[in-house]
């Protein structure tokens, strides 16, 4: 059926050497492009290796070379929606360095984290990518290998990190609303205990100034809260012609409720979200204008940085902040 043999059980470098009529050292050099060999020999060995379906054993290779071409992806949070794009971006960047990714989901359990780190240490991963759900800083890990934080910052200001600009995200939304001439902006966001909510709220206050109407409303990161917040605002008699929401879910709740009460969106009230989560933003009517935190880009940059550290390259900035991007849709135009 397939000309390629049925997955040869275990073809070692010695088998290639024998088949090619050279020594194992020569095979190694031929396949790795090291040493000094005749081009003809090199090609002959490569051809033989290919024919036999030889794949060098990573364990042995790693044992002697020191590198395992493997990194650990440590997440404090169980894998959530935010982590997928980061993971994907990181994978992309690491793939060019032939690196594989081992998952380590600590589930916020210190004992579990200890155990996983031990496992990663035993496996001699070349480096660690650390991330988490919340953007609340976490204590730095004490390990003797390169570590890059992605999305969730470390408390260590000197550590390597690729972060999102929470404040800029809020500012982009506010500026957009202001540019549309909206002058009575309501800010609905998540729990005050979340750093994200705090940062964004302060940024909104600074950017909107007196155009911010009433106090910032803290609640849950849910559609339900978005809907209820609108009811509360209307009941309190607060006049507003724009809602700057702290998340797409809150924004969608607001849009839904406004529409339901026959307030035109965006005519009467313009609404913005943050996250640009397609499932929510595109399903809303009208579709949500939102700020994309570019998580994929964060993952990619973090992966790139980790790769640079592992391979001993100079890292220009140890602390990169990825700029968010405003995505304009029907809820504001």
Q: How many angstroms separate the CA atoms of 254 and 18, rounded?
A: 72
According to DSSP, residue 117 is labeled: H
243-259 burial by CB neighbour count: b if 16+ within 10 A, else e? bbbbbbbbbbbbbbbbe
Binding to a copy of itself (CB under 8 A) within 192-251 occurs at 222-224, 249
Tell me which residue of 237, 174, 235, 246 sits closest to 210, measured CA to CA. 174
> Which residues of the shown chain bind DNA in the complex (CB under 7 A)?
10, 12-14, 21-29, 31-32, 34-38, 40-42, 54, 56-57, 60-61, 63-65
Near a copy of itself by CB under 8 A: residue from 16, 20, 48, 70: 70
Q: How many CB atoms lie within 10 A of CB 260?
A: 10
Q: How many CB atoms lie within 10 A of CB 311?
A: 12
Q: What are the C-alpha distances in Å from 183 to residues 1, 125, 180, 241?
A: 71, 53, 9, 7
Minimal distance, residue 21 CB to DNA, in Å: 7
Residue 9, interface with a copy of itself (CB under 8 A)? Answer: yes
Residue 78, interface with a copy of itself (CB under 8 A)? Answer: yes
Smaller CB separation from a copy of itself, 136 or 156: 156
Smaller CB separation from a copy of itself, 177 or 265: 265
Binding to a copy of itself (CB under 8 A) within 273-302 occurs at 279-280, 283
Minimal distance, residue 296 CB to a copy of itself, in Å: 11
Residue 167, interface with a copy of itself (CB under 8 A)? Answer: no
State how far Cα 235 lies from the chain centre.
Answer: 39
Q: Which part of the chain contacts a copy of itself (CB under 8 A), choosing from 14-22, 122-130, 197-205, 236-244?
A: 122-130
The CA-based dihedral angle spanning residues 244, 245, 248, 249, taken in that order and rounded to the nearest 10 degrees: -140
Q: Are strands 325-327 and 289-292 parallel, antiparallel or unpaired?
A: antiparallel
Residue 114, interface with a copy of itself (CB under 8 A)? Answer: no
Residue 245, both tokens: 């929401």
Tell me which residue of 107, 109, 114, 116 sits closest to 79, measured CA to CA. 107
Query: Which of DNA, a copy of itself, none binds 84 (CB below 5-8 Å, type-dependent)?
Result: a copy of itself
Near a copy of itself by CB under 8 A: residue from 2, 34, 179, 236: 2
Near a copy of itself by CB under 8 A: residue from 124, 175, 206, 313: 124
Q: How many angstroms separate the CA atoms of 34 and 49, rounded?
A: 16
Contacts of 76 (CB under 8 A, 6+ apart): 106, 108, 113, 130, 131, 132, 133, 138, 152
Near a copy of itself by CB under 8 A: residue from 91, 113, 183, 205: 91
Near a copy of itself by CB under 8 A: residue from 15, 113, 136, 156: 156
Near a copy of itself by CB under 8 A: residue from 21, 23, 25, 81: 81
List residues near a copy of itself by CB under 8 A: 1-2, 4, 6-7, 9, 55-60, 62-63, 68, 70, 73, 78-81, 84, 87-88, 91, 98, 100-105, 118-124, 140, 142-144, 156, 222-224, 249, 252-253, 256, 260, 279-280, 283
């Amino acid at each position: 059926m397939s000309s390629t043999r049925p997955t040869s059980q275990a073809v070692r470098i010695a088998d290639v050497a024998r088949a090619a009529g050279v020594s194992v050292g020569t095979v190694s050099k031929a396949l790795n492009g090291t040493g000094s060999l005749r081009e003809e020999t090199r090609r002959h060995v490569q051809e033989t290796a290919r024919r036999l379906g030889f794949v060098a054993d990573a364990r042995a290779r790693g044992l002697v070379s020191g590198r395992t071409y493997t990194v650990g992806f440590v997440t404090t949070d169980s894998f959530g929606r935010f982590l997928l794009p980061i993971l994907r971006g990181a994978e992309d960047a690491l793939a060019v360095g032939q690196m594989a990714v081992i998952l380590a989901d600590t589930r916020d359990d210190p004992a579990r984290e200890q155990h996983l780190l031990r496992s990663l240490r035993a496996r001699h991963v070349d480096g660690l990518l650390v991330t988490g759900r919340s953007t609340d800083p976490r204590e730095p890990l004490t390990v003797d290998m390169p570590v890059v934080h992605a999305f969730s910052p470390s408390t260590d200001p000197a550590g390597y990190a690729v972060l999102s600009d929470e404040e800029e995200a809020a500012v982009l939304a506010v500026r957009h609303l202001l540019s549309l001439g909206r002058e009575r902006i309501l800010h609905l966001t998540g729990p005050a205990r979340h750093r994200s909510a705090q940062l964004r709220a302060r940024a909104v206050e600074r950017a909107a100034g007196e155009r911010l109407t009433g106090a910032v409303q803290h609640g849950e990161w849910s559609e339900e809260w978005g809907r209820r917040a609108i009811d509360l605002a209307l009941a309190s008699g607060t006049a507003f012609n724009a809602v700057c929401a702290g998340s797409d879910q809150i924004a969608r709740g607001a849009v839904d409720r406004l529409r339901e009460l026959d307030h035109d969106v965006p005519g009467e009230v313009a609404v913005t979200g943050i996250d640009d989560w397609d499932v929510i933003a595109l399903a809303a009517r009208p579709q949500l204008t939102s700020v994309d935190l570019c998580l994929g880009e964060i993952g990619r940059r973090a992966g790139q940085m980790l790769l640079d550290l592992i391979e001993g390259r100079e890292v220009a900035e140890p602390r990169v902040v990825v700029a968010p991007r405003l995505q304009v849709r029907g809820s504001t135009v």
